[in-house]
Amino acid sequence: MVTELTEQQREQARVDTVIKEIDRQIEGAKQALAAAHQETRAVEQNYSENASINRYEIDDIAESRSEIEQQRQLVARASENETILAHQLDTLKQLRAQPYFGRIDIQDPGQAEAESLYIGTASLMNEDRTDFLIYDWRAPIAGVYYNGTLGPVTYQTPAGTQRTTLVKKRQFTIHDGQIENMFDTNETVGDAMLQAALGRQNDQTMQNIVATIQKEQNDIIRNTTADLMVVQGVAGSGKTSAILQRIAYLLYHARESLNADQIVLFSPNLLFSHYIASVLPSLGERNMRQVTLPNFLARRFEGLQVESLFDRYETRQQSNAPHPVADWLEGAASMAAVKDYVDQLANSQAPLQFADLTFEGRTLFTKEAIASIYHHQVAKMTVADRLVKVKNALLRRLQHLATTEAKRDWVAKELDTLSNQELHALYGQKTIDDFADEQAQAAYLARRWAKKRLRVVADAIYNNYFLDFHALYRQFLLHLPLTGPITEAVQQQLATDFSHGVEFHRIKLVHTAPFLYLRDLLTGGGQNRSFQYVFIDEMQDYSLATLIYLKHAFPDAKFTVIGDAEQALFKPLELPETLLNRVGDALAAKHPRLIALRRSYRSTFEITTFAKSLLPDGDEITAFARHGDPAKLQVHYGQAAWQTGLIKAVQAMQQRFPTVAVLTRDQEEASQVYHHLYGQVTDLHRLSEEDSQLPSGVLILPIYLAKGLEFDGVVIANVSAAHLGDQATGLLYTMATRAMHALTMLTLGPVTPALTGAASQYLTIEPPTEPQR
Ligand SMILES: Nc1ncnc2c1ncn2[C@@H]1O[C@H](COP(=O)(O)OP(=O)(O)OP(=O)(O)O)[C@@H](O)[C@H]1O
């Protein structure tokens, strides 16, 4: 004991020394930042003064332009410098609270003594910059901390595999500069520290897992070679945590060539986006971009309202009954059919569909005229290339047209109504003195005005509005190959439904991927090459067609796709291996890596044991040994008793935890539950799709909005057969696994069959409060 204390004191003394050095560096960084700030202000001021003089007096002198450009660059450099220093200061401040969490002692071959290295969220050098006081967790040698057990170990460096011997591994919990706990371990990352991390109460935002990354998670985080990584991980296995750590890792290792704006994460909903938003900043990195699929689609379907998974779920169009036609459209076959169809269009086996280009109700170019331009192009070219030629030809014709239009009455009439200011703007660079006579001046203005007004037509040409994509897609549906569930009647029905939707400015989700793919392949557009990494969370909610489309839309990106087949809310349950292989095949890659995570960390042992027993292959899941109360089920047979039970269950949870989630199947149920609880519990919130922040208190939300989230205590409002139906396994599993510490379910009437099997033995069942009638 005495030696342990001495050891801790010795470590504390080191922490104190490191903090002293951090304080010194903080002071230096503050001064440098203040100086940089002044410098930025000075160059900015200089720039704005010069720029304004130049704009009014010597606008056309090229020399002054280049001077301005030079100064603009100076401003940019100064402010970049300031940003870097501010970032350094933030990192130092973060280190000050918790300088490091791990220590490894390694003995390199041929060395007499072991060397101690300390691992933290960022690197820190000593004053004379000769030694690392802290190693960044992403440094190659730090891999040993996460992967190695004592004895000979290897780690990867840019120079190849290195060997060393790990002689000690120590973990620390340091809070505000004080060591609260420390112990030596031989495990990869010891259970005790993980226990402590997992036993914490939930915060409103996700925490990083840097101090306790597990070996299997480390494989996901530190992989830089795969161009496709597919992770199938059971609920609470740390998929989301691992990919966020992975992003931080990638940013560190490609500082020069990768920045956070070149990474995009598709997240399931806005609440989730917000929930995870502080993880990267806590690791000293800027956040990647985030988008939800509905947002992504909305941007590509301007003018059409795109059905979302939530809409589809709420309106019950997608019950768990089989939907062979929708499944076909959402599978890889429909995307292959799009490609075939584009080939047919290229060979003129099917006609392209053009649209008239109109201006103020007048047709400027008829679809026949546009078709004729198209057919005059060399037939060997791709459709996209021929369309570019059409585009250019149309733009040229539009220019001519502007000259003729300028002589028309409407132009003169409109010019008469212009204000002085508008007229002034129309002169552009010219002044009255530049014209020989009034006629020349009027002609100039008319031409400028006509051009300006015809700009909308030019934009329409740029955006390929001379093609009728709706008609083309309809035609595609009528050409679908007659295989599987597709019959002639189905073709007709799909085409009619599609056109009907478009009439009301709506498009169903099943059509989005094939439609966009068709549009992009025809026009050669829609691809974004600026993204280097695309991450997709909750992959089980994406159709294969959508995944294939995303791969097409981000052609230069490496993909990391994560999810859990068994958290299927929107379709029937699938076995994890099946999903893993299906997604792997659809996103065919040169260097794919498929990973399965089977250990669940979020919930107590009791909750995980219950949740996994709901599943057909639940034995594959390992529960982490953190203990708590068994999951509870309250059985009621009358509405009044159920309501009272619900209020009591929520109140009981609220006494234990600051945040309690009441999960429902959908919004309608959420609204009913809200009415029952209103006035009975404090701090009550009902969350909707538009919400982006998680308040504390009692939160009522449909399960699809709780995807990826976790709560200290969870109450599931009604698990009856009548309410959830008999295909509720995925739904119930997802709900149950949102709970970290406590789970209570209620049922009004007999429970769903999902609960009657093995799962019931892991429940504490509270007897009915009323006899069954
Ligand atoms: N190595 C770890 N150290 C500490 N905590 C961890 C670790 N791995 C996972 N956790 C914790 O377990 C919980 C679940 O993690 P996460 O949300 O990343 O899992 P998930 O697989 O994305 O879950 P789901 O699919 O159920 O939404 C989080 O609270 C996370 O902090």
Burial class (CB in 10 A: 0-12, 13-18, 19+), 389: middle
Spatial distance between the Cα atoms of 647 and 129, rounded to a whole number of angstroms: 61
> Does position 331 have pLDDT exceeding 50, yes or no?
yes
CB-CB neighbours of 691 under 10 Å: 17
Domain 605-766 adopts which CATH fold?
Answer: Rossmann fold (3.40.50)
Spatial distance between the Cα atoms of 507 and 509, rounded to a whole number of angstroms: 7
The residues with which 161 forms a beta bridge, in sequence order, are 156
> Tokens at residue 461, please?
């040409």
Centre of ligand 1 from the C-alpha of residue 709, in Å:
10
For the chain, give the mean pLDDT.
88
Residue that is written with structure tokens 């220590």 in the block: 103
Looking only at Cα atoms, what is the longest distance across the chain?
103
Of 101-115, 181-195, 380-394, 692-706, least confident by mean pLDDT is 181-195
Pocket test of ligand 1: the residue of 191, 231, 601, 703 to mutate, having most ligand atoms within 8 Å of its CB, is 601
Burial class (CB in 10 A: 0-12, 13-18, 19+), 168: middle
What are 447-461's pLDDT values in tens digits?
A: 889 888 989 899 999
In terms of Cα–Cα distance, which of 758, 753, 755 is closest to 743?
755
Burial class (CB in 10 A: 0-12, 13-18, 19+), 328: buried
> Tokens at residue 381, please?
């070219």
What are 368-378's pLDDT values in tens digits?
A: 999 999 999 88
Atom 26 (ligand 1): residue with closest C-alpha?
Answer: 235
Spatial distance between the Cα atoms of 45 and 39, rounded to a whole number of angstroms: 10
Torsion of CA 755, 759, 761, 765, to 10 degrees: -40
> Does position 578 have pLDDT exceeding 80, yes or no?
no
Burial class (CB in 10 A: 0-12, 13-18, 19+), 28: middle
The pLDDT, as a whole number, for residue 188 is 57
Give, in degrees to the nearest 5, the angle at Cα 646 between 641 and 650.
150
Task: Tell me the torsion sign for CA atoms 22, 28, 31, 37.
Answer: negative
> Does position 2 have pLDDT exceeding 70, yes or no?
no
Any known ligand binding at 235? yes
Instruction: Give the up-direction half-sphere exposure of residue 709: CA atoms within 13 A in the CB hemisphere.
Output: 34
The pLDDT, as a whole number, for residue 3 is 56
What are 251-281's pLDDT values in tens digits?
A: 998 888 898 999 999 999 899 999 999 899 9
The pLDDT, as a whole number, for residue 573 is 66
Closest atom of ligand 1 to 202 CA is 29
Centre of ligand 1 from the C-alpha of residue 625, in Å:
15
Q: Do 766 and 633 meet the contact criterion of CB atoms below 8 Å apart?
A: yes
Spatial distance between the Cα atoms of 284 and 267, rounded to a whole number of angstroms: 21
What are 684-715's pLDDT values in tens digits?
A: 999 998 888 889 899 999 999 998 999 999 99
Burial class (CB in 10 A: 0-12, 13-18, 19+), 356: middle
Q: Do 659 and 699 meet the contact criterion of CB atoms below 8 Å apart?
A: yes
> Taking CB atoms and a 6 Å cutoff, what residues make up the pocket around ligand 1?
194, 197-198, 207, 209, 212-214, 217, 233, 235-241, 564, 567, 601-602, 708, 710, 737
Spatial distance between the Cα atoms of 602 and 618, rounded to a whole number of angstroms: 16
Centre of ligand 1 from the C-alpha of residue 231, in Å:
14
What are 503-548's pLDDT values in tens digits?
A: 999 999 999 999 999 999 999 888 999 999 999 999 888 999 999 9
Spatial distance between the Cα atoms of 79 and 85, rounded to a whole number of angstroms: 10
3-class secondary structure for 26-43?
HHHHHHHHHHHHHHHHHH
Give, in degrees to the nearest 5, the angle at Cα 340 between 336 and 342.
115
Closest atom of ligand 1 to 189 CA is 1
Q: How far is CA 726 from CA 310, 471, 604, 723, in A?
A: 20, 41, 27, 9
CATH of domain 216-340+485-599: 3.40.50.300
Closest atom of ligand 1 to 538 CA is 25
Sequence-distant (6+) residues with CB within 8 A of 491 are: 477, 478, 479, 480, 482
Atom 18 (ligand 1): residue with closest C-alpha?
Answer: 238
Of 2-6, 47-51, 555-559, 672-676, least confident by mean pLDDT is 2-6
Any known ligand binding at 471? no
Q: Do 150 and 167 meet the contact criterion of CB atoms below 8 Å apart?
A: yes
Q: Do 67 and 92 meet the contact criterion of CB atoms below 8 Å apart?
A: no
Q: Do 725 and 592 meet the contact criterion of CB atoms below 8 Å apart?
A: no
In terms of Cα–Cα distance, which of 581, 579, 521, 532 is closest to 560?
532
Amino acid present at 270: L
> Does position 636 have pLDDT exceeding 90, yes or no?
yes
Sequence-distant (6+) residues with CB within 8 A of 147 are: 153, 155, 188, 215, 218
Burial class (CB in 10 A: 0-12, 13-18, 19+), 504: exposed
Pocket test of ligand 1: the residue of 200, 240, 272, 624 to mutate, having most ligand atoms within 8 Å of its CB, is 240
